[in-house]
Structure 1
C-alpha cells in the first residue's frame, strides 16, 4: 500500500473511533477497578472468616470463565427482563445493554480479578510487625492504611493497574455480548479488528493490531522492567 493510502486511513474517523472508544472505556473501567480492587483487597487480605474462600473464588471467577459466558451472565443480570435491568430503565429511561456504559461494565468485570489479586498480594506482603508498631504508637486504622499499607503495597497496586488496563484494552467477548459492536458508540479495537477481518479489510485490521500490541508491550515492559528490590 502506498504512503498516501496509509495517511488516508490515519486521517479517517473509521480508524480513530475504535481507539478513542477503547481508551474511554478502559480508563473509566480502570478507575472503577482500582477503587473496588483496593476496597476488596483490604477487606480480604488479612481477614479470617468462614466463607472467605467462597467470596475470593467468586471475585476471581471472571478470569477463569470464557468472556462470552461473562457477557451472557451480564445480559441475564442487566437485561430488560431482569429486575436490575428494569430498574435501570426506569431510572435512566433507557436500557444499559448495547451502550457505552455496558462496555464499561463488561470491561470492569473482566479486568477486576487482575487488580484484586495483585493488590491483595501486596497488602498481604506488608510486614505485620510494622503495622503493630504503628498501632502501639497510636495510629488509627485509617491512618495506618494510608501511611503504612498503601505506600508499602504501591508496587503491587501499580502492577495491578497496568495489567488490568492492558486486559481492559484487549477485552472482546464480554463486550461484544453485552455492549454489541456499534461504530462510534461501543465498537472497541478488538471488535473493530474482528469486523475488519470479516470484511477483508486486512490493512485496517493490521494497523489496529499493531497499535494495541505496541500499547500492551509498553505497559507490560513497565511491569517487568521495574528494578526489583534486593532482599
Structure 2
C-alpha cells in the first residue's frame, strides 16, 4: 500500500496518518504563534509538507497548493520574526493601519475572484467537476481558502494582530468544506483552530494595548 494512504479506522472512518500528523503540526503552529515563538515557522513547514500529500491524494487541489504557499510563507515569516527578535527583543505586534486593512480586504476579494476563475478554467479545483450551482460554490470556497490563508500567513509574518481575524474568516468556510470532503481530522482541527484563533487574537491585542499604555509611563 502507498505510504501516503496509510492510516487507521475510527468508528468506520479511515484516518490518514499524513492528515493526522500534519494537522497536529498545524495545530501546534497556532499554539506557538499565541506564544510568539519563532518555532511556529519550522513546525508549519513540516505540517505543510504532510498536508500537501493529504490534500493532493484527496484531489483538493486548492488546499494542496495552499500548503506549497504555506511552505514559502513559513520561510518568509521565519526570517521576519528572527529580524524582529534580534538581540533577545520581544516580537513587536501591532494592529494593521487603515490603509493596510483596506489592502488586505481588497486582496482577499480580488484574489478570490481571480483564483476562482483560474481554478475553474484549469480544473485545478475538484469543484470544477461538480455540476452547478454546487460546483461554483465549491470552486469559490476553494479559492477563498487559498487566498485567505495566504493573506493571513503573510500578515502573521509581519506580526499584525489582524491576521487572527482573517483566520477566523477562513475557518468559517474551511470547516464545512473539510467535512464535506471526507477529511474528518482536518474538519475537527479547523474547529479547534477557530477557538485557538480567538484566544490568540485577544492575547495579541491585550499585549499591544498594555505595551502602548506602558510606553508613555516609561518615557516620563
TM-score (normalizing by structure 2): 0.33
Larger Rg: 1
TM-score (normalizing by structure 1): 0.32
Larger RCO (alpha carbons 8 Å, 6+ apart): 1
